[in-house]
């Protein structure tokens, strides 16, 4: 008997909205471009609204409100709440509650966008269908104390329509009359909403499916530099799940993370403060520990007998790693004037550990072990 989803479990309003914006992007936008063409104003308007709403999700909804990665002045909070609403991804209270549940229950039944239920479910199915009872929103009590957050919750739908659709149409009208207003509505409104939403959805689906896991293999989250290019730096998802309160996702200086650069710039302008970042030593220890775990997993296979030299090398690295972890925790409680020396000592130990890891990797390469 074929599976049928009861109509009562379909989120009809959300499904209709997502369907209409997708069809508008696929059908109405190409028709407009064919009929009226496109000029620099429409391109700039689209990019401006894409950046404003996309960064409001990544800077505001995600790193500021969901993870408390920094503290922000009221103009920054207001901007991200207003333009975050224009992304049509729900109020910040709903968004942050779902996201905190995702981190707390990742890959489990209580994960709202659990990838183990399938790519489609993680990407958009969890929004279209109400498969489980709505969880209580008791994990965002801290956000409910912010008057601006409460204000956005009350006026969310008005803000979303006014800023997301009417404002670009009005700007188009001022620029070039009715045809430009239609272009603003379709390009900076409808198409932009579709692109920003799927940018977010792909973090929940693709970044739990493809990519590397340099920091931890405990959950399905993965780093993808390709996804980072299209998501304002959110693609470094394995790092984010291991160190979720860091204001950075692309922790290396060369990694593409416009959200990190935006927060850093706002800090220099004194619009945000108290940026949270994980110590470099702790990040390196996580990388080395995950590399050792992968090595052990490969060598546990009977196809790869463990040579005495390799086994001894791995045991040595494990001992040194544990020593570094103990020392890293120890210096946190020391006085500031002693801390610099301990940091230098730990860094020296970690550099030596990385050299040993490279040597072990070279041995494993010669053995044919893919690491």
Cα–Cα nearest to 205, from 124, 259, 128: 124
Residue holding tokens 């369907």? 19
Query: Residue 333's pLDDT is what?
Result: 53
Query: Residue 178's pLDDT is what?
Result: 96
**Contact present, 211 and 238 (Cβ < 8 Å):** yes
Helix (H, G, I), strand (E, B) or coil at 39: coil
Q: What is the pLDDT of residues 258-317, one digit of tens each?
A: 999 999 999 999 999 999 999 887 887 788 778 777 776 666 665 555 555 566 666 666
Q: Average model confidence (pLDDT) for the chain? A: 86
Query: Residue 3's pLDDT is what?
Result: 44
Runs of H (alpha helix) within the chain: 12-23, 29-36, 40-55, 74-85, 92-104, 119-120, 126-128, 147-161, 167-176, 178-183, 192-205, 225-230, 237-242, 258-268, 280-299, 308-332, 336-367
d(CA 289, CA 291): 5
Query: Residue 136's pLDDT is what?
Result: 79
Residue 113 to residues 41, 57, 133, 202, 253, Cα–Cα distance (Å) = 37, 17, 14, 11, 30
Q: Higher model confidence: residue 235 or residue 303?
A: 235
pLDDT at 207 over 60: yes
Q: Higher model confidence: residue 7 or residue 46?
A: 46
pLDDT at 357 over 70: no
End-to-end Cα distance, the chain: 46
pLDDT at 332 over 70: no
pLDDT at 169 over 60: yes
Query: Residue 2's pLDDT is what?
Result: 45
Query: Residue 335's pLDDT is what?
Result: 44
Q: What is the pLDDT of residues 99-135, one digit of tens each?
A: 999 999 999 999 999 999 999 999 999 999 876 667 7
The domain segmentation of the chain, as residue ranges, is 7-273, 280-367
Average pLDDT over residues 144-157: 97
Query: Residue 291's pLDDT is what?
Result: 75
Percent of the chain with pLDDT over 70: 77
pLDDT at 367 over 60: no
Burial of 187: CB neighbours in 10 Å, binned 0-12, 13-18, 19+: buried
Q: What is the pLDDT of residues 49-106, one digit of tens each?
A: 999 999 999 999 999 999 999 999 999 999 999 999 999 999 999 999 999 999 999 9
Query: Residue 1's pLDDT is what?
Result: 41
Sequence-distant (≥ 6) Cβ neighbours of residue 339 within 8 angstroms: 331
pLDDT at 371 over 60: no
**Contact present, 156 and 93 (Cβ < 8 Å):** no
Residue 357's φ and ψ, nearest 5 degrees, are -65, -40
């Amino acid at each position: 008997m074929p599976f049928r989803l009861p109509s009562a479990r379909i989120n009809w309003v959300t499904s209709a909205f997502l369907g209409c914006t997708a069809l508008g992007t696929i059908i109405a936008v190409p028709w407009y471009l064919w009929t009226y063409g496109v000029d620099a104003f429409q391109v700039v308007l689209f990019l401006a609204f894409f950046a404003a709403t996309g960064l409001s999700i990544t800077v505001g909804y995600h790193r500021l409100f969901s993870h408390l990665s920094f503290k922000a002045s009221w103009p920054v909070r207001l901007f991200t709440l207003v333009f975050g609403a224009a992304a049509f991804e729900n109020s910040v209270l709903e968004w942050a509650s779902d996201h905190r549940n995702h981190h707390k229950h990742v890959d489990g039944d209580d994960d709202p966008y659990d990838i183990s239920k399938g790519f489609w479910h993680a990407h958009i199915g969890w929004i279209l269908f109400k498969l489980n009872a709505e969880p209580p929103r008791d994990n965002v009590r801290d956000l409910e104390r912010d008057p601006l957050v409460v204000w956005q919750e009350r006026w969310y739908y008005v803000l979303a329509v006014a800023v997301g659709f009417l404002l670009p149409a009005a700007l188009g009208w001022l620029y070039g009359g009715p045809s430009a207003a239609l272009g603003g509505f379709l390009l900076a409104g409808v198409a932009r909403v579709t692109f920003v939403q799927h940018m977010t959805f792909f973090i929940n689906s693709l970044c739990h499916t493809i990519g590397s896991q340099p920091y931890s293999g405990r959950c399905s989250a993965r780093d993808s530099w390709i996804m980072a290019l299209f998501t304002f730096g959110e693609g470094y998802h394995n790092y984010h799940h291991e160190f979720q309160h860091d204001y950075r996702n692309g922790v290396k200086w060369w990694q593409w993370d416009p959200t990190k650069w935006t927060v850093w710039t706002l800090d220099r302008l004194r619009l945000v403060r108290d940026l949270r970042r994980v110590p470099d030593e702790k990040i390196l220890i996580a990388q080395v520990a995950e590399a050792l775990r992968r090595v052990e997993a490969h060598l546990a296979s009977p196809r790869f007998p463990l040579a005495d030299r390799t086994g001894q090398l791995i045991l040595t690295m494990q001992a040194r790693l544990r020593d570094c972890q103990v020392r890293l925790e120890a210096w946190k409680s020391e006085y500031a004037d002693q801390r610099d020396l301990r940091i230098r000592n730990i860094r020296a130990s970690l550099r030596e550990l990385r050299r040993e890891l490279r040597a072990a990797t070279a041995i494993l390469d010669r053995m044919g072990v893919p690491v």
